[in-house]
Amino acid sequence: MSEKLSEKEQGRQRTEIVTLGEFGLIEHLTRDFEPSHASTLRGVGDDAAVIGSPEGEVQLVSTDLLLEGVDFDLTYFPPKHLGYKAVTVGVSDILAMNGRPSQVMVSLGVSSKIPVEMLVEVYEGIRLACRELGVDLVGGDTKASVTGLVINVTAVGHAPRERVVYRDGARLNDLICITGNLGAAYMGLQLLQREKRALTGAPQSLRPEFEGYEYLLQRYLRPAARLDVVDMLAGEQIVPTSMIDLSDGLASDLLQNCKASRCGARIYLDRIPIARQTSAFAEEIHADPVVAALNGGEDHELLFTVPLEMRDTVARLGGIDIIGHITSPETGAFLVTPDGTEVQLQAQGFTA
């Protein structure tokens, strides 16, 4: 697939970053971004952004780092999708605090192999995500990188103080809820990696085989930030007792919530929502879709807890599954199979 990327770039204009310089590059990439929030008092173009807080609200700030070769592979990751996903990743942390995002800052570490045209595509994705999520790009930085492309996103949001949700608020018997479905992003990554291996050294006439699995690619390459869920909860006057962004996998993120809330948990295998394409591709590559849901990560759905008496209200909302409940801390955190067997949840791999 790397040969195909080179072939695609042939004949296209290639502008070296050095011809623009740092400030010229920033102006070139950000000139079409116009602020839309009253709280954006000064955006791109000065030494610092100036952001106000609406009266009665607190400000939320989060930062995320994406590294080439670790978080993405430019062999198969379209630059426009990468820019879109970078904003989604940053904004999802604000949503996980039950806040509304308002601004983002994007900083780049760029190696000499990357032309200006690729960065323009990255910023096209950033612009699209900003427009869809209603956030302003208000600044950032660029530096030379010797390790490939680096993207850092700082997201800023607001929420009424009484509606901010933390990880440490889950209480005994609270219901454990998740949005969307899990494991699809991980299976999308597996699909891309399989096709990359299959096409390495193959004739250029061959093309990757993605037919029937387009949803998996979308979930990995262009995940959606769940602003709709935060709006839906607000519309029903629901303030979760705890919440977390599902970025590292259900098992790891639930354990993070349990640790912060000093509690245990029981989730039920047959209640975990898994998309049809996730199960189909897992069967094709002889993998377990439940393992993908538990440990795959990058779904960027929301896990939250609510009091038991809200069961009927949450069930009516649609797109939210109640997968378990909070238990006392000494009981630990377990997955319960349909036959009643309890499997202890384990955090997998490095989580940052």
Q: What is the pLDDT of residues 14-65, one digit of tens each?
A: 777 556 555 555 565 666 666 666 666 555 555 455 666 777 788 988 989 9
Structure tokens at 330: 């000494």
The CA distance from 201 to 258, in Å, is 47
Q: Is 49 within 8 Å of 40 (Cβ atoms)?
A: yes
Q: Is 249 within 8 Å of 348 (Cβ atoms)?
A: yes
Inform me whether the pLDDT recorded for 310 exceeds 70. Answer: yes
Residue 201 zone, left/alpha/beta (φ > 0; ψ -120 to 50; rest): left
Q: What is the pLDDT of residues 127-158, one digit of tens each?
A: 999 999 999 999 888 899 988 999 999 999 99
Q: Is 300 within 8 Å of 222 (Cβ atoms)?
A: no
Closest by CA position to 26, among listed 112, 140, 126: 140
Q: How many CA atoms lie within 13 A of 69 on its CB side?
A: 5
| 139 compared with 296, residue with greater pLDDT | 296
pLDDT of residue 10: 43
Domains of the chain: 2-163 (3.30.1330.10), 167-344 (3.90.650.10)
Q: Is 91 within 8 Å of 63 (Cβ atoms)?
A: no
The CA distance from 305 to 341, in Å, is 23
pLDDT of residue 112: 85
Q: Is 251 within 8 Å of 291 (Cβ atoms)?
A: no
Q: Is 152 within 8 Å of 139 (Cβ atoms)?
A: no
Residue 206 binned pLDDT confidence (cut-offs 50, 70, 90): confident
Radius of gyration of the chain (CA): 21
The CA distance from 19 to 21, in Å, is 6
Inform me whether the pLDDT recorded for 7 exceeds 50. Answer: no
